Amino acid sequence: MGVESLPAGPSKGHPLRHEANWAWLFIMPALAVIGVFSLLPTVGSFAISFTSWDLLGTPRWVGMDNYQALLQDPLFYKVVGNTLWFVVLYVVLDMVIALALAVALNQKIRGLAIFRTAYFLPVVTSMVAVSIVWEWIYDPGFGILNVVIGWFGAEKVHWLSDPRFALPCLVVMSVWKSLGYTMILFLAGLQAIPPEYTEAAAVDGASGVTRFFRITMPLLGPTLLLVGIMATIRAFQTFDSVYLMTQGGPRRATTVVVYWLFQNAFTYFKLGKASALAYMLFAVLLALTLMQWSLRKRWVHQEEGT
Amino acid sequence: MPDLRKVAAYTALTLGALACAFPFALLLSTSIMTYQQSVTYPPEFIPRPATFENYVRAFTSSSLLTYFGNSVLIALLTVAGQLATGAMAGYAFARLRFPGRNVLFFAILTTMMVPVQVNLVPLFAMMARIGWVDTYWALIVPDLAGAFGVFLFRQWFLNLPQELEDAARLDGCNPWQFFWRVALPTALPAVATLGIFQFLASWNTFMWPLVVTNSDALFTLPVGLAKFQNQMAETTNWPLLMAATAVAVLPAIAVFIALQRFFLRGLMEGAVKG
Amino acid sequence: MAARMLLSPRKSLLALSAALAVLAGCAGPARQGLAFSTWGSIDEMDILKPILAEFTRRTEIPVELQHFPKDYAHKLRMVVAAARVPDVMFISNEALPGFADRGVFRDLGPLLEEDPDLGASDFYPQVMKAMSWKGKLYGIPRDLSNLVVFYNKDLFDAAGVRYPEAGWTFADLLRIAPRLTRPGEQWAIGFQPQPLVWTPYVWSHGGDIMDESMSRCTLADPPALQGLNFYVDLRNKHHYAPTDKESGNARMTQLFAQGKLAMFVYGRWAVPGYRKKLTFDWDVAPFPRGPAGSIVDTDSSGWGIAKDSPKQEEAWKLVKFLASRWSIEQFTKSGLIVPSRPDVANSPAFLAGKPASSQVFLDVIETGRPQRVPMAYDEITWELIDNLAPAWTGEEPVDKAVKPLCERITALLRES
């Protein structure tokens, strides 16, 4: 990535007077669509965040009021708290389980393709479909989870309507969905580590566990950080599952930032407040994305270097 | 003496694979139950007798066919659009020289840093103002091009051997002819990668169609499924819902299996996008 | 070559912008006649369409019907935002402030005053008030929406209990309820979590959700708490009303139709369905009296005119026609509405047919009042439903659940 220079040319023959004009023709469609429907709204979102607007009439300038109001709203802190709680649970679970599976997969396993296909079924399925199926799994009356815990004599739990369990249930489902993706990324990271390092340690008598934690893990550092950041960004953007399964409840236990943004913008038509919230989210995700990109560069070079 | 590590590895992987596959099995098995079977306790997981009536009813008691058609239409159009615009722009950024090239590419790249939720409100307001709310325009046009496609093709075309281009120039090819007849045919892997990515993204996207449409005739599968589930709020008929969900899920899985290789390659590239 | 013509970047940019502009403007051909938006079931459309046809026959003004059966207020907002406001719009008193405040509707007061055929006195004052915002009238009302107690006469007969009659009290309710309850099979009264349904309990105890200026939540004040506690106790203490588990996700109206509820609080809109479906004898009675009286809501829906419509005269003609005696009678005859016009209300069009005591709907108008509708109405309703949920299930005492709820509502009221 980064903007490499064009190979030297034109060295022979044909003049390229019209090259620039051709270029415009080539980029115009992409530029027009991206400019109008992506760049423009990003700028627009910033502007709207300083107004009060319900889509009818014209936006009314209110300066920093939306941001101030958010920071003084107890619900804002609850939403942020919910989101952070979701993110932490999700990232930890996702990474630990995926890493364990990637290590397993790295052991020169046969049937790699079959495993990979199975693990990717959740990844390519829409979150809507996943939410519907898991809602059935979590169903208090006849869902399989309560059936299974019933075998052990436990009472039926109202998973999604209990404020204690609702959010963790969403996390478990999200981890399940992205496990294959995270696992593949870790696998790539593991495979980039030259086997000589661990083999040398084995010759020196180090046990498998020691080898893993003293050699593999440190070398996996950048990968861990990269994957962790990507998982964090993904977790911050949770919306579909909340909309389908809990609608932000019970008692706001599962209202995460993007869901609250949706309610503010499209249920209550507080476009200014929603945009301010979006930009605060943007600030957080931008910082994470920039970290991810700089790490990715290093990762690619690490790969290319081996 | 069996390698304990390998045994542990196989066990862990198999358990994980079963955990991943299990909900899909549940989806299918529930979809062939009758409502009565789904509300009996203790439940039978392999319904005897099995029935396909839910699949029939899913189509007759809801607009599932409409949703399916919409999803197909939008997926095909946006894939075509992204391929066309991405390949052309990627080629230009990679192999043509023009003023402002770097600045423009950087501008396009920055859009990859912006989470979609930031653009949601203003894009919606824009759609409202120009009267595109609840129309196919709103579902298709904003997704006809994207930074990821431009980025992907640019990466690909940067690796074109210079000799190919020089030879073409000698033959008097203009950039379009070179692009169409020489460069693009070599880029089929990139086409497949972007194709499957955009197809899956379009097939599975939920928030934007939810926000920008509210007529049954325009719903895509994810939105239609959500509304279908919503209608049943009082007493959810799970088998019926599972049948509808299965219909929504199978095409994506089929496409994935067919183009697995390209999808995985694209994932690695997409690690930048996240 | 065509490519060469497009090669100037400026030209191609212009061409593209032009194309986008054309696409954007693709709104279709210019409107003929009046555009009229409404919600409503298919049955309602079957009543409305002939009325519109008759209007066109008499005035030669065609009417383009825009029917949004679901999410009406949301769809209307989209249409307004796209500058394609219908000339005449049907609107409920809950949705009215959001649009009136933004100048979408025209002030109809002066029009009504000057009109020779239609006047404010043709309608109940309560619905005129419901269709007003900040002192100005923005809609001509079609109906009056209030709550009564539907009751199953057969169940009362079987238990040997006298039917509820005008002036009966909460004490009477508590007295007869045990005789109408057979645990697990039948309950004396229904229980619904919607604010609309429990508000009469609060009002009749002298409380309210918010004060008159709509700047403070009053749900934590003693009278309101009394009302809420009375309501919750019906279910959780006395078990005269079914719990969620017992009702098993069926709605109260379904339970009533199944003959499992002796009474429940509901509105006129159920009548057409009940006339067709109910297999037992039924009637309506006023809401019981509490310490502050028997007070139920008096909401309304009506027709408004777009302020920016270029067809003001024709639009008023349509509204007048829709609000005329004949037209309101058509809506009333199906049993769907309590008419906004006393002349229709006091005629057989409304009073004939089941329920035999339709007069009750009219008797309670005097003491009723519209819901308070602040700008943040939708958000407040969401908070009310979400925060009181544990109180309804008995997990949390009402007094405890209400305190944070009230703070939240006051904050929302202050925000607007």
The CATH homologous superfamily for domain C147-296+374-415 is Periplasmic binding protein-like II (3.40.190.10)
Q: What is the largest CA-CA distance in chain B?
A: 78
CATH of C9-144+300-355, one of 3.40.630.10, 3.50.50.100, 3.40.190.10, 2.60.120.10: 3.40.190.10
Q: Is C125 helix (H, G, I), strand (E, B) or coil?
A: helix
Q: Tell me, what's the pLDDT at A227? A: 92
Mutate to test the interface with B, among A33, A50, A277 (most CBs of B within 10 A): A33
DSSP state letters, C177-239: HHHH-BTTTBEEE-----HHHHHHHHHHTT--SB-TTSSSB-TTSHHHHHHHHHHHHHHHTS-
Contact call for C16 and A28, based on CB within 8 A: yes
C-beta of residue A50 within 8 angstroms of C-beta of residue A63: yes
Strand A51-52 and strand A60-61: pairing?
A: antiparallel
Q: What is the rounded distance in angstroms from the CA atom of residue A283 to the CA atom of residue B128?
A: 27
Residue B178 banded pLDDT, cuts 50, 70, 90: confident
Identical fold between C9-144+300-355 and C147-296+374-415: yes
Q: Tell me, what's the pLDDT at A5? A: 47
- What's the complex ipTM? 0.91
Q: Is C88 helix (H, G, I), strand (E, B) or coil?
A: strand
In the predicted structure, residue C22 carries a pLDDT above the cut 90: no
| Residue-level length of chain B | 274
Backbone angles phi, psi at A101, to 5 degrees: -65, -40
Backbone angles phi, psi at A63, to 5 degrees: 60, -135
Q: What is the rounded distance in angstroms from the CA atom of residue C179 to the CA atom of residue C262?
A: 10
Domain ranges of chain C: 9-144+300-355, 147-296+374-415
C-beta of residue C264 within 8 angstroms of C-beta of residue C190: yes
Contact call for B99 and A119, based on CB within 8 A: no
Who among A56, A69, A73 is closest to C81 (CB)? A56
Who among B20, B84, B245 is closest to A133 (CB)? B245
A160/chain C closest Cα distance in angstroms = 14
C-beta of residue A301 within 8 angstroms of C-beta of residue A222: no
Q: What is the rounded distance in angstroms from the CA atom of residue B170 to the CA atom of residue B173?
A: 8
Q: What is the rounded distance in angstroms from the CA atom of residue C186 to the CA atom of residue C255?
A: 9
Q: What is the rounded distance in angstroms from the CA atom of residue C395 to the CA atom of residue A250?
A: 13
A89/chain C closest Cα distance in angstroms = 25
Contact call for C98 and A54, based on CB within 8 A: yes
**Tokens 């869902």 — which residue?**
A143
Which residue in A252, A206, B214, A153 sits closest to C389, CA to CA? A252
- C133 - beta bridge partners? C136
Q: Kindly compute the dihedral angle of the four CA atoms of residues C88, C91, C93, C94, in this order, to the nearest 10 degrees.
A: -140
Q: Tell me, what's the pLDDT at A10? A: 47
- Write the burial class of residue A30 (CB in 10 Å: 0-12 exposed, 13-18 middle, 19+ buried): buried
- Local confidence pLDDT in tens for the 306 residues of chain A: 444 444 544 444 445 557 788 889 999 999 999 999 999 999 999 999 999 999 988 899 999 999 999 999 889 999 999 999 999 999 999 999 999 999 998 887 788 888 989 999 999 999 999 999 999 999 988 889 999 998 898 888 889 988 899 999 999 999 999 999 999 999 988 988 888 887 887 787 777 777 788 888 888 888 899 899 999 999 999 999 999 999 998 889 999 999 999 999 999 999 999 999 999 999 999 999 888 888 877 666 655 554
In the predicted structure, residue B233 carries a pLDDT above the cut 80: no
Average pLDDT over residues B224-232: 89
Which residue in C111, C143, C138 sits closest to C127, CA to CA? C143
- A61 - beta bridge partners? A51
Nearest residue in A to B9, CA atom = A104
| Residue numbers in B near C84 (CB within 8 A) | 131
Q: What is the rounded distance in angstroms from the CA atom of residue A248 to the CA atom of residue A167?
A: 10
Strand C147-152 and strand C282-285: pairing?
A: antiparallel
Residue B107 banded pLDDT, cuts 50, 70, 90: very high
Cα distances (angstroms) measured from residue A187 to each of A36, A105, B160: 39, 7, 29
Summarize pLDDT for C72-93 with one digit per residue, the tens.
998 899 889 888 899 999 999 9
Neighbouring residues of B46: CB distance < 8 A, sequence distance ≥ 6: B29
Q: What pTM does this model have?
A: 0.88
How many CB atoms lie under 10 A from the CB of residue A270? 25
Contact call for A121 and B253, based on CB within 8 A: yes
Mutate to test the interface with B, among C17, C67, C78, C249 (most CBs of B within 10 A): C78
**Tokens 């006195």 — which residue?**
C121
C-beta of residue C337 within 8 angstroms of C-beta of residue C142: yes
Alpha helices in chain A (DSSP H): 19-34, 40-48, 65-72, 74-105, 112-124, 127-137, 144-151, 166-191, 195-203, 208-211, 217-236, 240-241, 257-262, 271-305
Q: Give the DSSP H/E element, type plus range, for residue B64.
A: helix B64-95
C-beta of residue B98 within 8 angstroms of C-beta of residue A20: yes
Q: Is B128 helix (H, G, I), strand (E, B) or coil?
A: helix
Contact call for C250 and B234, based on CB within 8 A: yes
